[in-house]
Amino acid sequence: MAIFKGAGVAIVTPFTADDKVDYEALGKMIDFQIENGTDAIIICGTTGESSTLTHEEHDECIRFTVEYVAGRVPVIAGTGSNSTAEAIRLSTHAEKVGADALLLVTPYYNKATQKGLIEHYKKIANSVTIPIIMYNVPSRTGVNILPETAVTLAKEVDNIVGIKEASGNIGQVARLAALADGCIDIYSGNDDQIVPLLSLGGIGVISVLSNIAPKMTHDIVASYLDGDVETSRKLQLQAMDLNDVLFCEVNPIPVKAALNMMGMCTGNLRSPLCEMSEAHKEQLKSALERHQLI
């Protein structure tokens, strides 16, 4: 059984003026997502600035989210690391505090071989009992999970059940779907490719766009899965200008700026991320106005 079908939000981490995690704001954002149809909350992912959270903050963000969501939708904890031992520590903690599943990015910077990736994921999977979604994003990590590797892991490890595919390579996803023949759940990791991934047998998206447009993102997937491909296609195309501006600078710079414009008060970014340029802010504001989000 899939962890979720539909649109899961890769939720941002809001900060206070003195650069602490703003749990009150995070709670409000979680409510906003669930009230607008979001099917899962993904906490401490890339969009959540996990790379600059302290270990204590990372653990507490997961614990808080599990407790606050209180079973309304699945909570998926980002617990990946370039250290297998650290990923195991994060993963076992997430399971202990009640996360429904884990999202594990490939080890970054180390540039593991495919053999190394198999060993890495198996070691983490053997340390927990909850299901795991692998996260393939070679543009950030420098490592690509080949389709053969993903299928090997899904077939040999019971709790490796899904993959977030953000390679941007539709041909690779098609090969993955053909080799897997249903043994692994495929989620789009790119908001501009939701419908193409669904057409290849995907079951949802782990989304940045959902932070600001949760209902639209949910409806793109729900319409497709309900057989209304035309509505899904139209919504995907309507969202293209939002997707363009949300990635005009490195994620999550634009989406946090957008949420601040929308009155969500997500605070600043943590260095080395910085405030977006004024020119891009104007483009972002115009897109939000066109979609009546501000």
Mean pLDDT within 258-276: 94
Within a domain: residue 247? no
pLDDT for position 159:
98
Rg of the chain, C-alpha, whole Å:
18
pLDDT for position 131:
98
Interatomic CA distance for residues 125 and 103, integer angstroms:
11
Return the closest-CA partner of residue 129 out of 98, 164, 105. Answer: 98
Does the structure show a pLDDT above 90 at 27?
yes
DSSP-derived 3-state class of residue 258:
helix
Does the structure show a pLDDT above 90 at 55?
yes
Within a domain: residue 275? no
How many domains, the chain?
1
Return the closest-CA partner of residue 152 out of 188, 174, 192, 120. Answer: 120
Q: How far is CA 130 from CA 75, 96, 127, 133, 240, in A?
A: 11, 10, 10, 10, 35
- Phi/psi at 77 (nearest 5 deg)? -95, 130
Within a domain: residue 212? yes
Within a domain: residue 165? yes
Burial 186-217 (b: 16+ CB within 10 A, else e): bbbbbbbbbbebbbbbbbbbbbbbbbbbbbbb
Residues serving a catalytic function are 135, 164
Return the closest-CA partner of residue 41 out of 101, 91, 117. Answer: 101
What digits encode the pLDDT tens for the residues 223-235? Answer: 999 999 999 999 9
CATH number, domain containing residue 211: 3.20.20.70
What digits encode the pLDDT tens for the residues 119-144? Answer: 999 999 999 999 999 999 999 999 99
What digits encode the pLDDT tens for the residues 189-211? Answer: 999 999 999 999 999 999 999 99
Mean pLDDT within 244-252: 97
Average pLDDT, the chain: 97
Within a domain: residue 254? no
Within a domain: residue 10? yes
Sequence-distant (≥ 6) Cβ neighbours of residue 36 within 8 angstroms: 214, 215, 218
Mean pLDDT within 249-259: 97
Within a domain: residue 30? yes
Query: Which secondary-structure segment (H or E) carries 24?
Result: helix 23-35
Range of the domain at 163: 6-231
Within a domain: residue 15? yes
Question: Which one-letter DSSP state was computed for residue 100?
Answer: S
pLDDT for position 265:
84
Cβ atoms 69, 34 nearer than 8 A: yes
